[in-house]
Amino acid sequence: MNAAHSAHEILDIMLRHLGYSVTIEMDEDPSGPSLHVRMEKPESLIGRKGERLDDLQHLVNKLLRQKFPEAPRVRLDVENFRHQETGRFLDAIRKLAAEVQSTGQPVKLDPMNSYERRLVHNLFKDDPHIRSWSPEDAGRLKRITLLLR
């Protein structure tokens, strides 16, 4: 059994023991495996602003790495919550970039985790007008600054 299938099994067992009736779909893409949970009333797994989903994802990855130390990080989503949130997040970043372009003034973004920073840096890697910069430090949350090129 490979790591992605093991992650699927870990999540399925956890959710069944918690009393949830779910369907779990697995995607393998270049950024790593993703597990998509389908269920009635997803709010109970998502939590306010996705914090329960983040905790569940952390726990699945922690258990997975006990069995497969080199396993890629598995991403969890419940009823496309993360997908929708990512779209809203990037729309807000694009608006801030338009502000930078019109005023010429840099904008410092709120602290972000590594996944969010990767999204922002990828959004502007080929942009002819805006570039993103974040400091090199060991902190988990870092602030990106949007600047004119």
CB count in 10 Å sphere of residue 142: 17
pLDDT band, very low/low/confident/very high, at 116 (cuts 50, 70, 90): confident
Q: Are 37 and 27 in contact (CB under 8 A)?
A: no
| 48/86 Cα distance (integer angstroms) | 16
Residues 65 and 88 in one domain: no
Residues 55 and 118 in one domain: no
Query: In the predicted model, is pLDDT for residue 97 greater than 80?
Result: yes
User: CB within 8 A of 102, min separation 6: which ones?
Assistant: none
Three-state secondary-structure class, residue 131: strand
Residues 96 and 126 in one domain: yes
Give percent above pLDDT 90 in the chain.
69
Residues 104 and 73 in one domain: no
* Amino acid in position 105: Q
* CATH number, position 37: 3.30.300.20
Lowest mean pLDDT among 22-26, 29-33, 133-137: 29-33
Residues 137 and 92 in one domain: yes
Three-state secondary-structure class, residue 52: helix
Residues 69 and 7 in one domain: yes
Residues 20 and 62 in one domain: yes
Range of the domain at 111: 84-148
Residues 30 and 47 in one domain: yes
Query: In the predicted model, is pLDDT for residue 138 greater than 80?
Result: no
Nearest residue to 64 (alpha-carbon basis) of 107, 100, 26: 26
Three-state secondary-structure class, residue 148: strand
End position of a domain, from candidates 21, 52, 79:
79
Give percent above pLDDT 70 in the chain.
99
Domain tally for the chain? Answer: 2
* CATH number, position 130: 3.30.1370.50
Residues 11 and 57 in one domain: yes
> According to the model, what pLDDT value does residue 74 have?
92
DSSP structural state of residue 127: -
* Amino acid in position 27: D
End position of a domain, from candidates 79, 105, 137:
79
> According to the model, what pLDDT value does residue 48 have?
87
> According to the model, what pLDDT value does residue 136 have?
82
End position of a domain, from candidates 79, 106, 137:
79
> According to the model, what pLDDT value does residue 29 have?
74
Entry pTM:
0.74
> In the structure encoding, which two tokens stand for residue 2, read together?
């490979």
Query: pLDDT tens across 48-70, in order?
Result: 888 899 899 999 999 999 999 99
